[in-house]
Amino acid sequence: TLMMIDSLDMNDADRALVVEQCRQSEVDRIVVTHGTDTMVETAAVLAHGLAVADKTVVLTGAMVPFAFGSSDGLFNLGSALSFVQVLPAGVYIAMNGRCFAWHNVRKNKAEGVFEEIR
């Protein structure tokens, strides 16, 4: 566990810590659980930091908080664990049973889903 903060409260130092931990990890397939509000920003920092050039990193989270009782978090985590095992090196976001390249996704708050940027 690196931090337990709301992703809206994350700053550059927090994201740098995520990058550094991924860089130092001995494994080459990493799943990061993250708040959905700034997940895309953290994915971009990971990708641009070249910290994971030879690693597969999949970020995931929950659109419905666990405290609400019927969270999608466990489903998304299971999907992320599957995707991280088969995807080539790079940074991805796994949400709603889909996997997205970090640079081609956005959170659609009105629909409550992540979607490709068209």
What's the pLDDT band for 51 if we cut at 50, 70, 90?
low
pLDDT, residue 9, reads 87
What's the pLDDT band for 6 if we cut at 50, 70, 90?
confident
State the Cα–Cα distance between residues 77 and 115, nearest whole angstrom: 17
State the Cα–Cα distance between residues 98 and 60, nearest whole angstrom: 10
Tell me how long the chain is: 118
pLDDT, residue 52, reads 66
Helix (H) or strand (E) run with residue 33 in it: strand 29-33
Question: Given the structure tokens 């709603």, which residue do they identify?
Answer: 96
State the Cα–Cα distance between residues 18 and 114, nearest whole angstrom: 22
